[in-house]
Amino acid sequence: MSANDDLLTFLRETLGSTGVLTDDLERYRVDWAGARGGLPLAVARPASSEQVAQVLGYCHRHDIPVVPQGGGSGLVEGALPDSQTPELVISLERLNKIRSIDPINFTVSVDAGCVLQTIKDAAEAEDCTFPLALGAQGSCQIGGNIATNAGGLNVLRYGMMRQLVLGIEVALPDGRLLDDMKALHKNNTGYDLKQLFIGAEGTLGIVTGAVLKLYPRPQVTRTALIGCPDVASVLKLYAQARRSCCDLLTAFELIPRACMELALEADPSLPDPLDAPHSVYVLMEVAASGPADLDSMIETLFERGLEDGLLEDGVLATSDTQAAQLWQLREAMLEGQQRRGEHLRTDVSLPISQLTAFHDQAEAAITEASPDSQVIAYGHVGDGNLHFNILPPAHLDDDDKRSLLHELEEQLFAIVAEFDGSISAEHGIGRVKQPYFLESLSAPEHDIMRGLKRLLDPRGLMSPGRILPRMQR
């Protein structure tokens, strides 16, 4: 028997016939963005944390590289099987149960394969909310959210996954299971080990379970769309909103007119929300779990913003339907970009106070380098996260588009470095951003990261070539 036959025999004996796939593997080779990976050795589909650990233990003993996979919504090719060295894909799609929910402790314990929307629905049924909000929440899995330290729309108020995870369970590369599923809001005992695995993209182990922080479900929510003259005005308006709305400000999204037009193009049923077009828009949300006059807060913000010349027009949603329609504009603009074909997606972050200067400098540099390209810069103002995307000239073929976008990306990331920003605010590093990431590391950072990798995964079998280069053995 070959080594691969032995692997398949082990997997079938351990996981059962439904736990192993060797045919029809196409969906495990393609991600949401259309990137394509290689043909895996097989797809293992464990149904328990113990099974995940057993599979990793076997792979550790037999030098078989593995890559964990969630909902396939990643954008940096971190979960796609390698095209050069065949890997075992470990899909967590069957590890998908809500283990328990505690509305008094405001926590929920879940399997890593739970779809984010399932967790949000379970929380709502207990009059709670799990605040992570993403466009892909109907398909992404919480294990992937943890592995990439996902952010989304509500980071301004609730923080990223690092702030939302209280406890964690991880299958280690050698087959041991680390059980740290503590539902404690305060724990000051030694090293916070769970933080090693949040944002590690499956390179140090596979997250199999987590205890997540819940919040009281908002009883009243108000959504507004505001037209502004420029990005600088948006930043000044944001500072006013933080003060006038206190900690009730949930989202503050920057949307340029170009994105609005992409949304209306993708979904013609959506109305242009204001009487006249504006250079940039703000989509903001304020929410409270108890009595609060949110309408007055927003109206006061409108009045002051008009007086200061920071906004030109705005609309306050008067119903849940109207609010949903405003948020649909935010989702439709992503579909509009996707329809344009090959384009550059980024998720850079800057100090909030530097967003205007960065935006203007980056836009000028890209326009000078490629006048026929279109900058699509939108993002989460409240956490300094800007999706500075670029649509290349339509007349170029795909190879020329990719070549141009690579050059423009290098220019963009160089400007990010000038502002002491980050090339990844929420999507991770994966394979796509690895060269830029490595260049940004100081010697101590590089040494510590490689040391952690060698300590936890000495054979370099966990998602090899993601974040850090493949280990030389």
Query: Fold identical between 98-216 and 348-418?
Result: no
pLDDT score, position 473? 62
Which residue has tokens 């013609």?
268
Give me the chain's average pLDDT, please: 95
What pLDDT, on a 0 to 100 scale, did the predictor assign at position 2? 73
Q: What is the CATH number of domain 348-418?
A: 3.30.70.2740
- Cβ 108 vs Cβ 122: under 8 Å: yes
> Which ranges of the chain have pLDDT less than 70?
1, 473
Neighbours of 459 (CB within 10 A): 17
Q: How far apart are CA 241 and CA 245, in angstroms?
A: 6
414: β partners: none
| Residue 170 token pair | 């991880």
β-strands 88-91, 42-44: how paired? parallel
Determine whether domain 3-91 maps to CATH 3.30.43.10: yes
**In the chain, where are the structural domains located?**
3-91, 98-216, 220-337, 348-418
Buried b (16+ CB within 10 A) or exposed e, 146-177: bbbbbbbbbbbbbebbeebbbbbbbbbbbbeb
Backbone angle region of 63, left / alpha / beta, with phi > 0 → left and psi within -120 to 50 → alpha: left
Name the β-bridge partners of 387: 378
> Residue 246 corresponds to which tokens in the numbers above?
């206190």
Distance from first CA to last CA of the chain, Å, rounded? 26
For strands 66-69 and 88-91, give the pairing: parallel
* 11 residue type, one letter: L
Q: What is the reported pTM?
A: 0.94
Using CB atoms within 10 Å of the CB of residue 1, give its burial: 0 to 12 exposed, 13 to 18 middle, 19+ buried: exposed
220-337 has CATH 3.20.20.70 classification: no
Pick the CATH number of 98-216 from 3.30.465.10, 3.10.20.30, 3.30.360.10, 3.30.420.40: 3.30.465.10
CB atoms within 10 A of CB 308: 12
Would you state the torsion angle of the CA atoms of residues 73, 79, 83, 89, taken in this order, to the nearest 10 degrees? -120
pLDDT tens sequence across 360-371: 999 999 999 999
CB 214 within 8 A of CB 108: yes
